[in-house]
Structure 1
């Protein structure tokens, strides 16, 4: 089965209007036809999830979502046969990959999606794909605003999509 998964992180939207505008931009553009949405934390506006309804939504808590008891710190999502680890991350951008990997050391995952640094990244570490979609709203030193799409089929392909 082939799936396309929209991947977001560090949206930092502060209002329902901003959330709706971002969702409309993405659903009519890079996320058109996706099967689900992953959000790697710092959603900030809880209503963002509802703006992507009826798509399945999987999120985790970022450092800016600390009041959100409904979001786990990390999770594993199964899109058979692929297993995706989802976490926000913490600390400086340098070394974030090593820090988030420690949470999943003894867990069988194929893809590790994370955020926090606002720096887009798609790289293999052995059989594991590390993927950070960047941020669609705040570059913080990144070369551009971005989101991601995971293409899940016989093989996994991760695409970083530049928004500007």
Structure 2
């Protein structure tokens, strides 16, 4: 199963549309996960033309997005439990807020966004993954998103592009 992981699209504020590099990967994906800050529901509508879309809302999302998506969710994909949260809030780092959101849950991976900083690291046996942003790189050198391959194992990688 191929899963495209995105966050912080901020469309149409930060870009006019989804970048070609991302759309190329969407063409053959089985699932899309968005970790919040969609900005408008039109992003969801466009993404669902490629594959099923799961996600959460972020701190800049409007009520329409909040009606469609929760603040936090857990997906069971094969043998793996994937937690998804945007990661916004007060105090602590974005990583720590994401971990705290699932403190009472058993998950294999936590996908989060908010900081626009790509992260892939293990902490206490849990994979922490922030895809960065495909449309608003802020102080990062490159735009980014993620791809997970899930089968008997779970493999995660970032895709970086200009």
Q: Shared fold (TM-score greater than 0.5)?
A: yes
Task: Answer whether contact 2:39 2:62 (CA < 8 A) is retained.
Answer: no
Separation in 1 of the partners of 2:27 and 2:60?
Answer: 27
1:11 matched to 2:19? The reply is no
Q: Where does residue 41 of structure 1 map in the other structure?
A: 36
The aligned residue for residue 71 of structure 2 is: 73
For residues 13-46 of structure 1, what are the alpha-carbon distances to aligned partners after superposition, in whole Å with 9 as ceiling and x for unaligned? 028x934xx1754232x33421100000000121
The separation in 2 between residues aligned to 1:49 and 1:31, in whole angstroms, is 13
User: Is 2:9–2:38's contact at 8 Å kept on the other side of the alignment?
Assistant: yes
Aligned counterpart in structure 2 of residue 111 of structure 1, from 109, 112, 117: 109
Aligned counterpart in structure 1 of residue 57 of structure 2, from 54, 61, 69: 61
User: CA RMSD for the aligned pairs?
Assistant: 2.1
The alpha-carbon deviation at position 94 of structure 1 amounts to 6.8
For 1:66 and 1:93, the matched residues in 2 are separated by 23
The 3-state SS of whatever aligns with 1:6 is strand
Structure 2 residue runs without a partner (length 5+) = none
- Check 1:130–1:98 CA distance in 2 against 1; reply closer, same or farther (3 A cut): same
Which residue number corresponds to residue 139 of structure 2? 141
**Distance across 2 between alignment mates of 1:87 and 1:154:** 24
Q: SS at the partner of 1:49?
A: helix
- Consecutive aligned runs of 4 or more in structure 1 exceeding 4 Å deviation: 91-94
Offset of residue 140 of structure 1 = 1.6
Distance 2:26 2:80 in 1: 20
